[in-house]
Every structure is written in structure tokens, then in C-alpha cells.
Structure 1
Amino acid sequence: MAKTSTKRSTILIAILTLFSAVLGFGRESYTAYLFGASSLTDVYFVAGMVPDVIAGWIGYTLTRAIVPSIKKEINNKGSSAKLISATFYITLITSIVLSIITFFSKKEILSTLASNFNEVQYSVGSNMLGIMVIAIVFSSLSGVLWGIHNAYEEFSYPALTGVLYNLLFLITLVLLQRWFGIYSLAIGLVAGGIGKFIIQFVPLFKKKILNLRFRVWHTEMPLVFQSMIPIFLSQLVGQINQVVDRIVASGLPQGQLSDLNFASKLGMLPISLIGSSIATTIYSRFVTHTLEKDEVELKRLISLGLGWMCFFGIVIFSGLFFYKNTLISIFYYHGKFAINDVFLSAKPMAVYGIFSTAYLFVPILIHFFYARNEGKFVLISSAIAVGFYVFTSSTFVEYLGIIGLALANGLSQLIYVTIMYSTMIKRLNWSFRSSIKSILNIGFPSGIAFLIGVVIVCMTWKEPELGNKLTITIRGALGLFAGCLSVLIYSKLNPNNPTCTFVLNFISKIQTLTRRVLSKLKSKLLGYGS
């Protein structure tokens, strides 16, 4: 597979993830239209977490553990195909076993996650989870295939997984909701999981990187398993956060768990997409430069990655905080989703915006330590952050409602980032002042320029009636335009800033492409005229 530059790969992933985000918004919006924020959607959001958590144990853990081993096999001209085949079958067998266990334990799992559900909710949840267990196998395999593609520095197919997942989920929902009702959500989740697997499996199989010859062992497997242990434990500790979140939220008044979920899906989607896009392209480079002990290049990559995260953190904050009601209204306020749900969902989304930069820093820092095979440290840091969340979430919810969960989550992520960042700069003999200056110089000025443009529109044009979607959409688009214009003006004034350089180069390429298209159109029109 051909290697691509970090910048080119990031742009490719960003474009694909943007398309995925649009489809994801459509899926979530249609779900809100069909079912609103109700007791049954509460059930779906609790049950749907189970396959994600279990698949994460396998797919996420093996993905992070296997990339360094595959890279080493490739660099040493070794047989990476045998290692890949063994990993594939180990994942397949393990995920099938866990799917069967989950199927026969679904009632116990639901009673643990949501002790406040009534009999109808337990019955519906058990049936939904019985369908969703199929997704555990395909999502686990998809996670491992993601790691294989990234080890070969092929990022397009993994980036397409979100597109296919959301597309198949949405199509399934449209076609089946009339006959299966709330259960169409469970079927859609399975369809999306199968799509994620197929889009990655086919190219690997065609290029003979993955063959189906059965094997469950390779000489690198002991090192992979050794690397997996701390990653698995850190993933498990991190998922306690999700479990506690659902347990605490299940005690909220009916429908508020769904309100919180809609807010987190919309608020966290740009955070997760941008964070994973940049972290994914940087991870394999982290591994390479760590093996080469090139600290200069590591510092450059970290500065670039976290600098961009700083910029996007301010951009996301601008939207989620100042246009929270507008965003919720545009995507969710229709069908069975009531105006009261708009205001309930908007409050925690604003909190996600406040902590957006901390959330964005996490994937970069985690991948730095995984590249160094220091998963134990990630585990310890994660345990401290989750411990804080566990001890504070119920208290925060008692006094602040669903805002309390978002606040506790954001503060725990801030603690997580602080611990990892301070340790990272020590590992690299990098002073705090120098590292912060390097990061802020890249992303902070442009981010503030964007914020100023957004705030100007927000303050001069007061929020109109939320039911008038055309007006609030125009107001939101104008805020986005003002933010981008502010960044462009700053870029012209300070063209040497890395973010500004990227913006100016991007605009230059758009102008060149536009001229080429217009030139071809002109030549064709003249040809027809003659």
C-alpha cells in the first residue's frame, strides 16, 4: 500500500469524516424525529452501549497493540501476513464467544446498567440487545482491520467506515421503521457494523495482505499480548466512565437520558472526528520516530498535532457554546422531539464545548504513549480520571441534573490530559513553557480570530424563534462565515503562522482548481459554439 504524507492523509480523512458526520447527523436527526426523547429511546441508548463496549475491548486493544509489531515486521522484511492472519482469527473466535455470553446474559447486563427501568423497558431492551450482539463480531474485526490499514499507512478505507456505518444505519432505519418500530434501531446498528467490516476487509483480502488461512499463533504474539494488557485495562477503566454515565443517567426523569445522549452525540461528534482524524495519521509516525529515537521530529509532530487541536477546540467551543440552541433545533427539533427537549439537550452540549480542547488533546497524548509501549501509564492516568468521575458524577447530577454529568465528564478529561501532558514533556526533556509556546503559536491566534467572528454575529443578531429553522440556519451560517473570514484576515496579516500558511495554501489550491474547471468549461462552450 502506498504511503501518503501526514498533511495529505489528514485532509483525506477530514473530508471523509465530514461526509460521515453529515450522515451521522441525518441518522440522529431521523431517530429524534421518529421516536423523540422517550422511555424507549432511553432503552436503546443503554442497550446500544453494550456492543460498543465489548467490541472496544477486543478491536481497540488489539489495534493499538498490533500496529508496532506489524510495522516492525514490515521494516524487517518479515512475514506480516502470518501475524495479521493469526490476529484476525483470534479476534473472530474471541468476539463470537463474547457475543454468545452477552446474548445469554442480556437481562443481567441491563439490570446492572439501568436498575430504574420498568418491565416494559427491560423486555424491549433484552430483545434489542439480542439483535445487537451480532454487531460485536463485525465491530471487533473492523477495529483490528483498522489497525492493519494504519500500519501500512493506508487511511482512506478506515475513514470510510464511518460513512458506510451511518449510511447503512440510516437506510435500514428508513426502510424498516414502519414494520419494526424501535427495533429498527438495533437492526440498523448491526447493518452499520457489517458495513464497517466489509469496506476494510475487501481491499486487504484483494491485496493479499490478509489471507484466510487458519492460524492462531505467530512469534510476535507474546509481545502483542504483553502490549495488550495495559491497553485493555486502560480501555476497560475508560469504559467504566460510560457504564457509570448510563447507570447515573438512568435515574433521571423519563426521556432525559435520551436528551443527554442526543446532546453528547452532536457535541462530541466533531470532537471525536477531528481528534481521531489527526491522531490516526500521526500514530504510525509516532511509532516510526520512537523506534528511531528521533525526539526532534516527535516534538514537531506533537506541536503540530496539539496546535491543530487547540485551534479546532476553540472553533468547536464557539459553535457549541454560542449556538447550542440553534444546533439542537436544526438537527433534532421536529417530529416527536419537543421544544423542552431542545433546551434540556442544549445545556450539556455547551459544557462539552467548554472542555472541547481537553477532549481533543486526549487521542494525541494516548497514541504518543502507545507508540512507546507505555500503556501502563495510560492505564494509571485513566484510572485517576475515571475515579474522579465516579466519585463526583452522582453528586453533580443531584444538584445540576444532566448538566452535572457533562461537567463531571469534562473535568475528568481535564485531569486526564494534565497528567499525560506533564509526563509526556518529561519523557522528551521538554520544558513546560517551551512546549506550550510551541503549541499555542500554531493554533491559538487563529482560533481566537474565529471566536471573535462568531461572537460578533451572535451578539449583534439575537437568537430568533427556534421553530423558524431557515432563519436560525442563516444566522448560524453567517456566524460560521464570519469566523472563517476572521481567520482569513488574520492569515493575511500573519502568513508565517503554520495554521495561517495552511489556510492560505488551501485557498490557493481552491482558486487554482476553480480556474481549471472554468477554463475547461469555457473551452467546451467555445467548442460547441464553433
Structure 2
Amino acid sequence: MNSAKKMAKTTTILMIITLVSKVFGFVRETVIARYFGAGMEADAYFMALGIPNLIFASIGASISTTFIPLYTQLMNVDGKKAANTFASNLLNIISIICCFLLILGIIFSPNLVNLLAPGFSGAKYDLTVVITRILFIGAIFNMISAVLTGILQSNESFLGPALVGFPYNIAVILGCIFFTRYYGVYALTIATLIGTMGQALIQLFFIKGKYSYNRVLDFKDPYVKRLVFLIIPVLIGTAIGQINTVVDKALASSLEQGSVSAINYSSRLTGFVQGIFVSSVITVIYPFFSQLCAKDDYDDLNKYISGSINIFTMIMLPITIITILYSRDIVSIVFERGEFVKKDVELTAFSLVFLSLGFLPFAIREVFNKAFYALQDTRTPMINGTIAVLVNITVDFLLVKHLNVGGLSLATSLSFLASVICFLISWKRTMRCSIGEIVDLKGLGKLIITAILFFIVIWIFNKKGVHLFLSVILGGIIYICILWLFGARELKVAYSYISKKFSNRK
């Protein structure tokens, strides 16, 4: 199987797994709401859950991101044994550091709760401190899981990392259902801790035969030093990115009631799409990028970038069109019940329309992010991310008076577009290549024309009152047929893989 077919196969599997995992995530949230509502225990749990995550989540993601190109480089230059020694050394160092941070977290949990939840007092404050201390234990497993994810993905094994959501969701759901009546919120807390441990353990099952642990501890390892050097810009970029959220919510708080919630709910919907489609593809292509960089094969790297942009264009444009034309239906189906009334639907749908414009730019931005990380260049993404944040904040202030919550959402989408432009310029300068070597203009032209025809079809369906689900099915069939007539290479690769699988089963 060639690389393109292998990527198509792996990406399809990951999309399906991610979709099921996301559904389980919604079930988890529903179960928690069923047993704890929005009372004191729920407030204490969610606040306590966020405190360790605030400290460790971005660090873990940064480790996984920067680890893959270094591990891949070592495998190609010095062999798998050297790469596994580096991974073992990093695991040991992280475990020691996490144990130290765990002790500090347990000691200073009261101070952290005071700082991040200044409005909590009395029993609510005490409960939050206790839960925070328990959940700090899970931080060790989160960090270990990040390294294991990097090892597996570097070895082109994606199933283990894709399944990490299942033990977490299942543990929380079962903990609530069977033990809440006896232990209250502590059942939910322990279930969360068990689920976090399960995320690391499930990857240990898949890592057999791909990695062998070594007892080594070397803080002076040049690759560890290099990883620390690479992580710093990633962490800075992540911190800068948080400013967007802070500014958006601050400006939304001055608008009509429900604006902050509208942004949150519409962001949850866009996050659902990005998690299924963008994350699945990015997870697969990043190790390929790292392998090509390790071999200095930059011509093929440009081809993979071009192909990835086409894949995302083919996927995200029809999703954007459906979201824009059926935004009210989507929000109503997902959220309209109980206290979430028609007015809230309208406000959230208005925000969703403008956020959906950022689907494709967000995806392309992630492609270039990973391409630069594969080059072990974390400084360029940090700089481009900073520019995007400045664009977002500037446009926020320019549009909020005219479009209200829609202006804030549009600013976010435009910041993604600004980031893509910056990345194109940066990549062209770094690779000393033309735009035509990065972007398949002919292929993109076909995809854009197909999307325009798809828009006309869905617009007619919408005006005729065709239901959302029927529009998606009929429109999807028409879209695929047009792509096939136009000879879209990405669609033919997928068809070749599917037809081959069915023929093998006969």
C-alpha cells in the first residue's frame, strides 16, 4: 500500500473512532449533569478538574508535539535502540518532575483554589481543595501518556492514542451511575482519576513490540535539552492563544445577556467538527512530516503539504456550507431544550455562522504548524500565532459594535486566515520555493468550483424546506458525483482503497 492509500485508510479509521469517542464524551457530560446538575458539587468538581489541567495539559501537548520529530530523527540517524533510550530517559525525567510537582500541588492546592476561584468559600472551597488534591495525582499519568502517544505515532501506530478517550469516558459514566448514590462527588472524582490512568495504560497495551524500556536517567542528554528548547516557544504560543478567549469573553460580557454562552456553545460545535476531521488527519500526517524532515526529503514534504491542503478543502468546504445554511437547525437539534430557548438558538446560530468560516483556515494552519514542528522550528509558529492573536483582538474591537457576538466570532475566523497567510510566506521563505510548489492551484480550483455547485444545491434545498439530515445525504451524494466527474485525485484514492477492501472480502 502506497503512502497516500495508507494515509486515507488510517485517517478514515481515526475519524470513525474520534466520532464515537466524541459521542461518548457527550454522554459523559449528560450523565454528570443528570447526577450533579449545576450545584455546589458540580462547581467544585469542574473547577478542581481545570486546575491541574491548566498546569499540565499544555505541557503534555507540547511534549508530544516536540517529541515526535526528535524521536524520528534519532530512529533514522542512530537507530531504534537510541530512540528508545531517549524516550526512556524522557519518561524517567518527567516522572521525577511530576512527582515533585504533585507534592507541590497537594501542598499549595488551597492557594491555587484561592487564586483561580476567588468566589468560592466555606464548604464549597473546602470541597474544591480536596478534589484538586486527588486529581493532581492524574497529572503524572497525563504526562506519561503524552510521551507514549509520541512513541506510538512516530512508529505509525495511531489506534492506541485514538482510543484514550474511551477508558476515561467509560470510567466517569460508570462511576456516576453505580457509585454516586453512595459517595457523591467523590465517586466522580475517583472515576476521573481511574479514567486518566486508563489513558496511559491502554497505550501501554499497544506499545508492545514497538518500544523497549531502559533504566536510564541523564539530565544532560542533548536531545532532552533540545526538547526543552523546542517546548518553550510552543508553551509561549499556547499562552498567547489563551488571550483570544479572555478578550472574546470580556467583550461578550458587555453585550446582550447570553452572548458569552453563545460563544461557548458555538465553539463546542466547531470543536466537534475540528476534533473529528482536522485532528484525525493531522494526527496521521505529522509523523510522515517528521520522517521526511529526518531524511531531508523536502520535495515530498511540499507534496504532502499540498495534498493535505486539498484533502481539507474537499472536506471542510461542504461542512462550512451546510453549517452556514442550516446553523439554526444544527443549534436547535443539539441544544434547544429546557432553559435553552429560541432566543438562545438565534444568538448561538449567529455566532456559529461566523465561526464556521474558519473551518478551512484553521485546518490549513494546523498543517503548517505541524510542518514547522517537524522541521524542529517552534519559533515560527509562535511568531505567526502572535500575529494572529493581534489580528483577532484588533478585529474584535472593530466589529463588535456592528455585529455584536458575530463580530467576535468573525474575528476568530479572520485570525485563522491571517495565520495561514503568514505561514505561506514563512514556508515559501524557509523552503525557498514557489507558491505553486506548496499549493496545488489546479486541484484547488476543481474543489472550489465543486463547492460552489454544492452551495447552490444546498441553498435550493434550504429554501424548499428540506430537512437538515436529508440535505446532508442528498447533497453529499451530489457532491461526491461532481468530485468524481471533475477527477478529484483525493476522492479516487479513497475509492481505490474502499473498492480494494471489498474485493478482498469476496
Pairwise TM-score range, normalised by the shorter structure: 0.7 to 0.9
Letter in 2 for 1:458: N
CA distance in 2, matches of 1:284, 1:105: 38
> Given the superposition, is the C-alpha separation of residues 48 and 252 from structure 1 closer, same or farther in structure 2, using an over 3 Å criterion?
farther
> Given the superposition, is the C-alpha separation of residues 386 and 128 from structure 1 closer, same or farther in structure 2, using an over 3 Å criterion?
farther
> Given the superposition, is the C-alpha separation of residues 392 and 118 from structure 1 closer, same or farther in structure 2, using an over 3 Å criterion?
farther
Q: How does 1:10-159 map to 2 (within 5 A)?
A: 10-30=11-31, 48-75=49-76, 76-77=78-79, 78-102=81-105, 123=125, 129-159=132-162
Residue number in structure 2 paired with 1:490:
482
Q: How many residues align?
A: 498
- CA-to-aligned-CA distance 1:270-304 (integer Å, 9 cap, x gap): 11332221122111221222233323211210111
Name which of structure 1's ranges 263-272 and 105-114 shifts more when overlaid on structure 2: 105-114
Letter in 1 for 2:461: V
The answer as to 2:211 corresponding to 1:213 is: no
> Given the superposition, is the C-alpha separation of residues 211 and 294 from structure 1 closer, same or farther in structure 2, using an over 3 Å criterion?
closer
Residue number in structure 2 paired with 1:278:
281
Name which of structure 1's ranges 66-75 and 478-487 shifts more when overlaid on structure 2: 66-75
CA distance in 1, matches of 2:45, 2:332: 22
- CA-to-aligned-CA distance 1:317-361 (integer Å, 9 cap, x gap): 133322223223333334555554434433322222111111111
> Which SS does the other structure have where 2:432 is aligned?
coil
Letter in 1 for 2:387: I
Q: How does 1:190-209 map to 2 (within 5 A)?
A: 190-204=193-207, 206-207=208-209, 209=211
Residue number in structure 2 paired with 1:296:
299
Letter in 2 for 1:497: A
In structure 2, the gaps of 5 or more residues are none
The answer as to 2:405 corresponding to 1:406 is: no
Per-residue deviation, 1:103: 5.1
Residue number in structure 1 paired with 2:420:
417
CA distance in 2, matches of 1:42, 1:344: 25
The answer as to 2:479 corresponding to 1:477 is: no
Residue number in structure 1 paired with 2:317:
314
Kept in 1, the 8 Å contact 2:85–2:216? The answer is: no
Name which of structure 1's ranges 276-285 and 403-412 shifts more when overlaid on structure 2: 403-412
> Which SS does the other structure have where 1:215 is aligned?
coil
CA distance in 1, matches of 2:128, 2:350: 27
Kept in 2, the 8 Å contact 1:310–1:447? The answer is: no
Per-residue deviation, 1:461: 0.8
Identity of aligned residues (%): 26
- What TM-score does the superposition give when structure 1 sets the normalisation length? 0.80
CA distance in 2, matches of 1:337, 1:45: 21
Name which of structure 1's ranges 210-219 and 351-360 shifts more when overlaid on structure 2: 210-219
CA distance in 2, matches of 1:56, 1:150: 19
CA distance in 1, matches of 2:448, 2:201: 40
In structure 1, the gaps of 5 or more residues are 463-474, 517-530
TM-align CA RMSD:
3.8
CA distance in 1, matches of 2:120, 2:292: 54
> Which SS does the other structure have where 2:416 is aligned?
helix
Per-residue deviation, 1:437: 0.7
Residue number in structure 2 paired with 1:332:
335
CA distance in 1, matches of 2:47, 2:123: 10
> Given the superposition, is the C-alpha separation of residues 182 and 224 from structure 1 closer, same or farther in structure 2, using an over 3 Å criterion?
same
CA distance in 1, matches of 2:36, 2:453: 40
The answer as to 2:361 corresponding to 1:358 is: yes
Structure 2 residue aligned with 1:501, among 489, 492, 496?
492
- CA-to-aligned-CA distance 1:216-239 (integer Å, 9 cap, x gap): 544522222232232332233334
Kept in 1, the 8 Å contact 2:169–2:195? The answer is: yes
CA distance in 1, matches of 2:397, 2:114: 18
- CA-to-aligned-CA distance 1:390-427 (integer Å, 9 cap, x gap): 55657866775554543333232222222112211333
> Given the superposition, is the C-alpha separation of residues 507 and 152 from structure 1 closer, same or farther in structure 2, using an over 3 Å criterion?
closer
> Which SS does the other structure have where 1:79 is aligned?
helix
> Which SS does the other structure have where 2:163 is aligned?
helix
CA distance in 1, matches of 2:193, 2:250: 24
> Given the superposition, is the C-alpha separation of residues 9 and 503 from structure 1 closer, same or farther in structure 2, using an over 3 Å criterion?
closer
Letter in 2 for 1:378: P
Name which of structure 1's ranges 249-258 and 269-278 shifts more when overlaid on structure 2: 249-258
Name which of structure 1's ranges 501-510 and 251-260 shifts more when overlaid on structure 2: 251-260
Per-residue deviation, 1:137: 2.6
Kept in 1, the 8 Å contact 2:164–2:198? The answer is: yes
CA distance in 1, matches of 2:255, 2:187: 25
- CA-to-aligned-CA distance 1:452-505 (integer Å, 9 cap, x gap): 44333222116xxxxxxxxxxxx22201102211123213422x3213313543
Per-residue deviation, 1:190: 3.9
CA distance in 2, matches of 1:264, 1:503: 30
The answer as to 2:428 corresponding to 1:437 is: no
Letter in 1 for 2:98: S
Kept in 2, the 8 Å contact 1:45–1:258? The answer is: no
- What TM-score does the superposition give when structure 2 sets the normalisation length? 0.83
CA distance in 2, matches of 1:454, 1:198: 45
CA distance in 1, matches of 2:178, 2:373: 42
CA distance in 1, matches of 2:111, 2:469: 47
